Chain A
């Protein structure tokens, strides 16, 4: 019974800190801020799943936690790579448009993130 209360307290504290992470993910001024916050949320959810695995006495939830770790890592790497590619392509297109026709482009090249 004592273990149950320890697990419950841990889960409540982690849930509160998860909300703080979510605030940073919403407010973050740059894209990298949001990805860092989402990565932190993934880490905390991993701890929550591991605590639940011991609390409910279900061993297979630890497997879920391991898969979650791998998918979270993969998501961060792929989102970063895709964003770098999109940014460079947009930059290249803007530069080539500037070179060829300086006055014919509209609101395409504002460069906002």
Chain B
């Protein structure tokens, strides 16, 4: 094997190993978190970054042909599909769970949330000039 073949083998293997590591992190997050909306955060990572890295390694292995073009099409499709399915799943969880307040803060309407955020900003600005100094640094 020439030098180019070795570079292709090593680069593809590194991408594939990164993808497998991200899948492992996804499994770890699925078993580590306690609630679905937290678990979804870990699970959505593998849909884009994990499969993207794995298929990038396979594209490097495959070279320039139609197979790698189709693999790229799969990556691009999952970039669009994964946020949509995550959104639909979180809407399912939020609309069917009766005691959602045990797990996270629920705001009944948008005005309450905006009032609380405005109050939090005012409290953060109030104490003394430390924030300005930190911001300047």
Q: Note all chain B residues with C-beta closer than 8 A to A53.
A: 67
Size of the B side of the interface (Cβ < 8 Å), in residues, is 45
Q: A59's closest neighbor in chain B, by CB?
A: B67
- Ranked 3 nearest A-B pairs via Cβ: A73-B81, A32-B93, A80-B92
What DSSP secondary structure best describes chain B's contact surface?
A: helix
Interface residues of B in 79-118 (CB under 8 A from A): 81, 84-85, 88-93, 95-98
Give the bracket for the number of chain A residues in contact with chain B. 35 or more
Q: Between A and B, how many residue pairs show CB distances below 8 Å?
A: 124
Residues of B within 8 A of A (CB): 9, 13, 16, 19-20, 23-24, 26-27, 30-31, 36, 39-40, 43, 46-47, 50-51, 54-55, 58, 61-62, 66-67, 70-71, 73-74, 77-78, 81, 84-85, 88-93, 95-98
Interface residue A14 (Cβ < 8 Å from any Cβ of B): yes
Q: How far apart sit A80 and B89, CA to CA, in the bound complex (Å)? A: 6
